Amino acid sequence: MANRQGTAQTTLRDAVVIAGIGVHGGKPASMTLHPAEAGTGIVFQRLDASGASSVSIRATIDCLHATESCTTIASMGLSVATIEHLLAAFSGLGLDNVIVEIDGPEVPMMDGSAAAFVALIDSVGLAPLAASRRFIKVLKPVRVDNGASFAELLPFDGRRFEIDIEFSSALIGRQSFAIDLTPHNFRRDLARARTFGFLKDVEFYMSRGLALGSSLENTVVLGDDRVLNPEGLRFADEFARHKTLDAVGDLALAGAPILGAYRSYRGGHKLNAKMVEALLADSDAWTFVGDFAEPRRQPVRAEIPVRLREAAFGPDKS
């Protein structure tokens, strides 16, 4: 796969709206994706109770707020949670610039995958902009360890993900999934992979005010000896594919597509975020490439209709 350094930046051809339920808070949320100028990046704009513009939050690692059960960014006292599947859709399809206007603290969960976001983006399509896309090119290996888990980024002429997971449950066990990320491969192999959780953990999550909007319509739920969803799995290795989907979304917090191979074992949102932090902290490990290249720097904190309905995410434990 080539670097695609001459590829133009993109945005949406028109604004689109989507609404549904936040998986953790269980509350309705409406979200509008707006076209944006070149160089804008991915910006979430929280609305206040009156619907007026309130706080803008860049989807970059410096705005990361939490990774315990989902990926959350924050600024000026306001946050947006469960952004990983939406970011994965943007990154997987090559959408560089968009303003996400949202009326609550959590992105709608849809069916627990990125499929609805892909359909939403495809309903209007992408528009090229008069600026070249910028990439972060990995120059040397960078590794992060966390107990028995690890992640690493390696030099590679493309965008590759190699994800290994291991659970004590016989329903999952050890699974591996690898993909060279392109819009076609993302649509075919990753977008429909759903989040998953164990029935035994639901009471624990709900006691902490989480997973209040989860259901069999948006989560693959595992009992002691079987998958409880009547339709079963979408892929035999749907668990590893979903962890790969999460990794694609979390690594988008670098602020630009990463040219390199990402490998992880028993990873999750926390490890993915630490990988981005470790890469950007090592000035010898990466460089910008592409005509839009700028002097290397950390992402800077910001201060500042098609309609679909969703079903409702459950706990996804690494």
Active site residue 269: yes
310: its two tokens = 């969703």
**What stretch of H or E contains 249?**
helix 238-251
Please list, in sequence order, all residues whose beta carbon lies within 8 angstroms of the beta carbon of residue 81, skipping any fewer than 6 positions away. Answer: 22, 24, 66, 70, 71, 72, 105, 106, 107
- Burial degree of 235 (CB within 10 A; 0-12, 13-18, 19+): middle
85 is in an annotated binding site: yes
Dist CA 114 CA 89 (whole Å)? 6
Q: How far apart are CA 25 and CA 83, in angstroms?
A: 14
Encoded tokens for 183: 């819009």
Query: Residue 308 burial by CB count (10 A; 0-12/13-18/19+): exposed, middle or buried?
Result: middle
Please tell me which residue in 24, 34, 184, 269 is annotated as part of the active site: 269
Asked whether residue 246 is marked as a ligand-binding residue, the answer is yes
CA distances from 201 to 25, 133, 210, 227, 244 (A): 17, 42, 11, 14, 22
Q: Which residues are annotated as a binding site for Zn(2+)?
A: 85, 242, 246
User: Which amino acids are annotated catalytic?
Assistant: 269
Q: Which residues are annotated as a binding site?
A: 85, 242, 246
